[in-house]
Amino acid sequence: MAEGRDDSATVQAHYSTDDIASRIVAALRKVMGDEAPLTPDVLAQMDHFHGGGIASTRDLVAALQPEAGERILDIGSGIGGPARWIASTFRCHVTGIDLTPAFCRAAEQLNEVTGLVDQVRIVEGSALAMPFDDGCFDRAYSQNVVMNIADKPGFYREASRVLKPGGLLALSNVAAGPNGPPRFPVPWATSPEASFLSSPAETRDDLVRAGFEILRFEDTSTKTAAVRQALRERLEREGLPPLGFHVFMGERIKAAQINGARNAEEGRTSSVEILVRKPPN
Which of 278, 280, 141, 135 lies closest to 213 in space, CA to CA?
Answer: 278
Other C-beta atoms lying within 10 Å of the C-beta of residue 216: 12
Q: Give the global pTM.
A: 0.92
Q: How far apart are CA 118 and CA 45, in angstroms?
A: 23
Would you place residue 13 in the very low, low, confident or very high pLDDT band (cuts 50, 70, 90)?
Answer: low
Average pLDDT, the chain: 93
Residues 254-278 as b or e (16 or more Cβ within 10 Å = b)? bbbbbbbbbbbbeebbbbbbbbbbb
Confidence category of residue 180, pLDDT binned at 50, 70, 90: confident
Percent of all residues in the chain with a pLDDT value above 70, rounded to a whole number: 94
Taking only the tens place, the pLDDT of each residue in 77-107 is 999 999 999 999 999 999 999 999 999 999 9
The torsion angles phi and psi of 204, rounded to 5 degrees, stand at: -60, -45
pLDDT of residue 145: 97
Residue 243 region by backbone torsions, left for phi larger than 0, else alpha for psi between -120 and 50, else beta:
beta
**Which band of pLDDT confidence, cut at 50, 70 and 90, is reported for residue 275?**
very high
- b/e code 220-243 from CB counts within 10 Å (16+ = b): bbebbbebbeebbeebeeeeeeee
Rounded-to-integer distance, Cα 26 and Cα 263, Å: 33
CATH architecture of 8-125+134-277: 3-Layer(aba) Sandwich (3.40)
Q: Residue 238: is its pLDDT beyond 80? A: yes
Q: SS3 of 38, please?
A: coil
| pLDDT (tens digit per residue) in 100-128 | 999 999 999 999 999 999 999 999 999 99
pLDDT tens profile 52-76? 899 999 999 999 999 999 999 999 9
Reduced to 3 states, what is the DSSP secondary structure of residue 62? helix
Q: What is the mean pLDDT of residues 184-197?
A: 94
Q: Taking 90 as the threshold, does the pLDDT of residue 280 lie above it? A: yes
